[in-house]
Amino acid sequence: MSNLDVRPSAERCGGEAATGPVRDLLTGRTVPLGESTVVRRLLPTLGRRMVGAWCFVDHYGPDDIADEPGMQVPPHPHMGLQTVSWLHEGEVLHRDSLGSLQTVRPRELGLMTSGRAISHSEESPRTHARLLHGAQLWVALPDAHRNTEPHFEHHPDLPRVTAAGQGLDATVILGTFAGATSPGTTYTPLMGADLTLRQGTRTAVPLEPDFEYAVLTMAGRTEVDGVPLDPGAMLYLGCGRRELPLRADTDASLLLLGGEPFAEELVMWWNFIGRSGEEITRAREDWETGTRFGEVHGYDGARLHAPELPALPLKPRGRVR
Ligand code: MN
């Protein structure tokens, strides 16, 4: 997915991570994505740019797209990050400048590492399921790996953790959760897990005290550490926890995201992550002149143009603001 803002602001990522447990409700904002999709953007948001290396979280749907084109995100570039496509309903067809052509289905991991440069498109296939429901996430690459070779991974069989009798079923998206590890490549200590809770479940899941965490409710009525969380809302939890109490008043599903607080300052603008304004300016020029980011073949439509850079110089920022 892409940041399709026509006038994106420079995103400040960084500052101080919470040093202990907190319960900060992050109310997302609604952002149009192309002509036919609306997403709720949970990260970056006011007062919170990152959770570990997770630096972008969009939640969309469930939308009835039976008579609609669904998601149509034309070719656009990325730099300095990984994209994670995560679906509960529907399918997304991924094409990229490496020649990858992959349909990603519910609870399969589509993981694209942009490294120094890649471009891709994402679309609902012409023949698609009635419902589209998912999340699009970005992971910032650390300085030591941000110029790595671009590559795309598709992992259809992710490890699952089932707590028999507790009404909890987890799929490990990235990193390690409850002793199970995803095959997806990571470059910083982080994790992501999809938790399915049966109605009436009261349980607690294990956390790493050195990680900061956030939870996004994908569906159902839940309480996370005592805080009621509607679908599409995210709760930032801070650090210093060994477990997280969960309760489901209906059948529900949650995305748990965590990681070691990301210490490096970043410049995040449009679909690029760099370390200086000059780097971002160069990336924008390279995309507009058709160099470095390659070409996506087979997408029925024109590629995206980069928006104008803001008048003020882009400066590196920390992870809070
Ligand atoms: Mn994208």
Residue length, the chain? 321
Distance 205 CA to ligand 1 centre (A): 31
Cα dihedral 299, 301, 302, 306 sign: negative
Which pLDDT belongs to residue 79? 98
The CATH class, in words, for 27-259 is mainly beta
Cis peptide before 106 (omega within 30 of 0): no
| CB environment 20-31: b (16+ within 10 A), e (fewer) | ebbeeebebeee
Neighbours of ion ligand 1 (CB under 5 A): 1-2
| Runs of H (alpha helix) within 22-95 | none
Q: Cα of 166 to ligand 1 centre, how many Å? A: 37
Distance from Cα 148 to the centre of ligand 1, integer Å: 17
pTM of the predicted protein model = 0.93
The four Cα atoms 300, 305, 307, 308 give a dihedral, to 10 degrees, of -160
- Rounded Cα gap, residues 103 and 95, in angstroms: 9
Tens digits of pLDDT across the chain (321 residues):
566 655 555 433 334 555 789 999 998 899 988 777 889 999 999 889 999 999 999 999 999 999 999 999 999 999 999 999 999 999 999 999 999 999 999 999 999 999 999 999 999 999 999 999 999 999 999 999 999 999 999 999 999 999 868 899 999 999 999 999 999 999 999 999 999 999 999 999 999 999 999 999 999 999 999 999 999 999 999 999 999 999 999 999 999 999 999 999 999 999 999 999 999 999 999 999 999 999 999 999 999 999 999 988 888 887 775
Residue 4 has what pLDDT? 61
Measured in Å, residue 84 CA sits from the centre of ligand 1 at 9
Domain range annotation of the chain: 27-259
Q: How far is the CA of 142 from the centre of ligand 1 (A)?
A: 19
Q: At 37, phi and psi to the nearest 5? A: -125, 140
pLDDT, residue 7, reads 55
Ligand 1 midpoint to CA 8 (Å)? 15
